[in-house]
Amino acid sequence: MTTQAIRDLLAIRPFRRFKIRTVSGMEYPVTHPEALSISPGGRTVHVWTSKEGGATLDLLLVEAVTQDD
């Protein structure tokens, strides 16, 4: 998965929810464009799943990104 592919999904208007699935099978829903942060170096993303936190993911370990219908 590339940072640019994630940026492209975030830029779609109107925004469409999507899920990030890791090689371990975990899925992280991105419900709003502001619910995902990309690190300055572009290797990791943070998916905010609540106001208190979420998960930081290494893009090398992302298996797929799927959009909700």
The helix/strand count (H/E) of the chain reads as: 1, 6
pLDDT value at residue 53 = 86
The CA distance from 65 to 45, in Å, is 13
Q: Which band of pLDDT confidence, cut at 50, 70 and 90, is reported for residue 69?
A: low
The CA distance from 69 to 17, in Å, is 8
Q: Are 20 and 62 in contact (CB under 8 A)?
A: yes
Q: What is the pLDDT of residues 17-66, one digit of tens each?
A: 999 999 999 999 999 999 999 999 999 999 998 888 899 999 999 999 99
Q: How many CB atoms lie within 10 A of CB 6?
A: 20
Q: Are 53 and 46 in contact (CB under 8 A)?
A: no
Entry pTM: 0.88
